Structure 1
């Protein structure tokens, strides 16, 4: 796996099925999955493995105890961070994703903590929802849509 490769980052995920499904997508696309603690479940739970089916053992998984420990270890450039929230000012179609992108998603119930997003307004993106009756989308669906869009821009297609 190349060092310059997109990565999926889940900050304090709460639902094991979503984490398992995102892990499976990461295996399919040969991407690293980075999980930031605390979790709302144990990675040993059957539901994580069930959602990831028999692929969970192949997930290139890295865990961090906090967002600060992630930043301290990885030292991502600001331009490599892409945050996804329903209130993002730009759509996920807007950016030119970089080869070393960190695609960052928050927990299912609350999204990303304000402290993480502070000063990053230009780095926060949304997925369009045309019907206002829908308050939010499933995290695994959003992450999959985002990573395929980001890869499409990388592949020039």
Structure 2
């Protein structure tokens, strides 16, 4: 699970809790719109935050340089993604990448990988977007269906 420049501590905490529940690593790409020391991060993660397998990178390029992810292991999520989150067969080494709450993923992150951008379907067009923590949880469970017996 990769969050690029997250802004809202509650969302990061809630996603961290989901990562603990499913034994996933939470990767955070700086800068953040909050401090990881904030009570709101810990409150959203409740007493699980101390168990989050957390990695941090100064920017997207430092993440790429350190991890060297395969292109086909990167899954980007944006409200305007060309494909549904149900389309891919997720690889076991998948990186599920989400942008910040107010602006989504920077174009520089997605550049050249537009075919790897997915969205969560919404039936009512009056809803522009959903809460990041809710979308991330839906995506995680879909990606992990084979491992969870689904």
Q: TM-score, normalised by structure 2?
A: 0.98
**In structure 1, C-alpha distance between the alignment counterparts of 2:19 and 2:148, rounded to whole Å:** 17
Q: Give the C-alpha shift of residue 74 in structure 1.
A: 0.1
Is residue 146 from structure 1 mapped to residue 139 from structure 2 by the alignment?
yes
* Mapping of residues 4-153 of structure 1, within 5 Å: 8-153=1-146
- CA RMSD, Structure 1 to Structure 2 (Å): 0.9
Distance 1:156 1:105 in 2: 25
Which blocks of at least 5 consecutive residues in structure 2 are unaligned?
Answer: none
- Is 1:97–1:154's contact at 8 Å kept on the other side of the alignment? no
TM-superposed deviation, 1:13? 0.0
Question: Normalized against structure 1, the TM-score is what?
Answer: 0.94
Supply the distance in 1 between the matched residues of 2:95 and 2:6 (Cα, whole angstroms).
16
Distance (whole Å) between structure 2 residues aligned to residue 134 and residue 153 of structure 1: 30
Q: CA deviation at 1:119?
A: 1.1
TM-aligned CA deviation for residue 127 of structure 1: 0.2
Q: Deviating runs (4+, > 3 A) in structure 1?
A: 153-156
Aligned CA distance change for structure 1 residues 11 and 37 (closer, same or farther; 3 Å):
same
Corresponding residue pairs, total: 150
State the shift of 1:121 in Å: 1.2
Q: 1:22 deviation in Å?
A: 0.1
